Amino acid sequence: MTEGSHEGRPVAIVGAGIAGLTAALSFARKGIATDILEQSSVLSETGAGVQLSPNATRILSKLGLGHQLEKVWSEPSAICLVSGTSLRTLASVPSGAFARDRWGSPYGVLHRADLQMILTAAVEAEPLCRLHLGARIDDPSRGSVATLTGREPGLVVGADGVWSKIRTHVQGAGKPRFSGNVAWRLTLGEADAPAVFDTTKVTAFLGGGSHLVAYPLPKIRSFNVIAITGGQDPHAAPDRTMPLGDVRKQLIAAFAGWHPQIANMLQNAQDPTIWPLYEVNEGAWNERENIVLIGDAAHAMMPFAAQGAAMAIEDAFELASFVADGKPLAAFVDQRKTRVARVRSRGAFNRFAYHARGPIRLGRDLVLSMRRPESLAADFDWLYGYQPRD
């Protein structure tokens, strides 16, 4: 394979999650055929909710999915930061119509299963995309891929997540590591939600060493809730088999001292699941012109900036543009690494600010209270207003 060229051959994409399916649609938009290899025999999406900020919805709209998404998502009127102990609103960034006007694209929240369904349906309807379920691949060589698909690829894209098998074939690639944080996820019916939960907003409740985010899933009249605290490294792949009683005890203990509305909600939560949070450290994303990693396979990150899905979508779309234009993979990697590094930095800052204690926490609250909503929104122009290579 010559540098920067896929020689007219199809692209093989390993993994049919958000990154892989978006990549397939992005390549098809450029007239490039793809084979998507997914080891699961049935596509399903874990985790209840996903936030799609304007930098992600802009791309999904370019792929022709905007209308379908608008049928199933909610566009919150604001993203609010609230004290987890007093329930006092510390700051609010306007969204809704404001997001569409300022950043040229909406901010939507929805069930992950709905996003998966829309992406899958679009791939299945696209003649240039072929989806292969139950197709496990550990060796990304052209011959091994051809055995499964019937044709040799010009490029293999690793979109197979934080535990990527394809990444092990990229010399110098990053490695997954436990972040020191765990997440509890649960879905709460609107009727069971505390009064402070708002069906029109994304709300992040902040506390010492922990925070909790709640936002509406209107299609099922529920809230998606994710609570993040420090936790122990399980020294293994994510394991959600801990007895429910133990999960609940740990969850309640982590949020001891929070406002009774929140504490009571967690006390009565049905089927909370605990997820150790892993990230992939810095490393190579490509093996010459043969293999490239995108999404969590390349740079799994903490959810403190709510940009995991958005970065995967950006990766997928821009990769197709670079390949279609005959650019070397190194150029794609350089551009994306710069962008992802800035997002990681924003996440690290949020982690510090959201979990602040003592005098730092008091200072944070004071600074936030002095910022006007429009001023806070300007802080996101570089992130939400991003124009991808098309």
Predicted TM-score of the model (pTM): 0.93
Residue 156: give the domain boundaries: 11-75+111-175+280-355
Assess if residue 64 is contained within a domain: yes
pLDDT at residue 165, as a whole number = 95
pLDDT at residue 241, as a whole number = 57
For position 116, which CATH number holds?
3.50.50.60
How many domains are there within the chain? 1
Pairing of strands 155-158, 11-14: parallel
Assess if residue 197 is contained within a domain: no
- Consecutive 10-residue runs of the chain (390 residues): their mean pLDDT? 59 97 98 96 76 97 97 94 92 94 97 94 98 92 93 97 96 95 90 94 92 92 92 58 70 90 89 88 96 98 94 98 97 98 90 79 79 88 96
pLDDT at residue 4, as a whole number = 42
Assess if residue 226 is contained within a domain: no
What distance in Å separates the CA atoms of residue 339 and residue 382, rounded to the nearest whole number?
Answer: 10
CA distances from 87 to 83, 194, 211, 212, 269 (A): 5, 11, 12, 12, 19
pLDDT at residue 242, as a whole number = 61
pLDDT at residue 1, as a whole number = 37
Sign of CA dihedral 42, 43, 44, 46: positive
Place of tokens 């999915």: 65
Tokens of 116: 């998966």
Assess if residue 289 is contained within a domain: yes
Assess if residue 269 is contained within a domain: no
Assess if residue 67 is contained within a domain: yes
Assess if residue 261 is contained within a domain: no
Assess if residue 133 is contained within a domain: yes
